[in-house]
Amino acid sequence: MPSHKEFYDALNNISVNADTLNLNTDQVESKLDTTTGLLTTLSADTAIIKNDLANGVLSDVRDGSGNAITSTVSGSKRSLDVTATVSFPSSLDTNTRDGSGNAITSTVFGSARRLDVNLSSAGTVGSTAPTSANLYAGSDGTNLRAVSVDSSGRVNTNINGTVPVSGSVTALSSTGTITTRSSTITTGGTSQQVAASNSSRKYFVIQNISDTAMYLGVGYTPTTTTGLLLSANGGGMIFETSFIPTQAINVLCATTGKAFVAWEG
């Protein structure tokens, strides 16, 4: 659109003297050409603006310096075309970092990254210790088991899953009452029971104190060929500590009245 100054400049080239109109045609023609061009541009811009206003959309968006800002019409709206550039520091890595940017080491388990945590052990000897634990049979955090210690802080160890032991091990022992199963052979050549089956048995010993051989059967009827030989004058058998049979215990001797000593605990 031509400015007011441009119109005034065009009029300055026209002079009126009485009934005579003097024109500087070269300058007027030049100014009119300029004015015509401006009016043509103004008319085209006006048509675009009218069309956009009819559709409720601005034809153009410009910055403070008059430069066009690219935009796109979608329906009845014009949206700015924005290109965003994101830059990352060259030191970017896969570590988790603290507030100071220091890397916190971690380890991937399956599809999850877990923090590596080291727990230090420090304190005054004899002071109250925090709860401790140990991880068995897995690394996914689902098999945590508490460590058992005795009053001196020594770790308890299970032997065969049943006996807690702490410190050094010299021997396993238990206490109880002895039941005497001692007797004599009732009928020579026939097996007889010394002790019935007993699931609570913790100890058993038998000794032949006669001058005639005897034969032992645990859980079965012994014969002179299948029984365990208990020699005359002190032959014997003892069950203790690591393995104690619970079946019935039988004895065979060829001579009636021969004596044996037997204890059951």
Both structure tokens of 237: 């058998």
Predicted confidence at residue 196, as pLDDT, reads 97
How far apart, in whole angstroms, are the C-alpha atoms of residue 117 and residue 122? Answer: 16
Q: What distance separates the 2 farthest-apart alpha carbons in the chain?
A: 178
Alpha carbon distance 92, 89 (integer Å):
6
pLDDT score for 223: 97
Q: How far from 123 is each of 120, 132, 259, CA to CA, in Å? A: 10, 14, 66
The alpha carbon of 79 is separated from its chain's Cα centroid by a whole number of angstroms, namely 47
Where along the chain do the CATH 2.60.120.770 domains lie? 179-264
Q: What are phi and psi of 6, to 5 degrees?
A: -65, -35
127 by Cβ neighbours in 10 Å (0-12 / 13-18 / 19+) ranks as exposed
pLDDT of 234: 96
Using an 8 Å Cβ cutoff, are 180 and 203 in contact?
A: no
Please report, in tens digits, the pLDDT of each residue of the chain (265 residues total). 555 555 555 555 555 555 555 555 555 566 666 667 667 776 776 776 666 666 655 556 677 777 777 777 777 677 777 776 655 555 545 666 777 878 777 777 777 777 776 655 556 666 766 555 555 555 555 566 666 777 777 777 765 555 555 555 555 567 889 999 999 999 999 999 999 999 999 999 999 999 999 999 999 999 999 999 999 999 999 998 888 999 999 999 999 999 999 999 9
For 31, half-sphere exposure in the C-beta direction (CA atoms, 13 angstrom radius) is 19
Which among 242, 239, 243, 241 has a CA at the least distance from the CA of 264?
Answer: 239
CB 222 within 8 A of CB 215: yes
How confident is the model at residue 29, as a pLDDT? Answer: 62
CATH code for the part of the protein at 179-264? 2.60.120.770
* pTM for the structure as a whole: 0.39
Quick one: pLDDT at residue 52? 62
Task: Give the tokens for residue 84.
Answer: 């965003």
Contact 205, 262 (CB under 8 A): yes
Output DSSP code: residue 27: H
pLDDT given for residue 25 in this prediction: 53
In 3D space, the residue among 176, 206, 204, 197 whose CA is nearest the CA of residue 246 turns out to be 197
CA-based nearest residue to 195, from 203, 187, 226: 203
Would you state the pLDDT for residue 92? 47
What's the confidence (pLDDT) of residue 238? Answer: 95
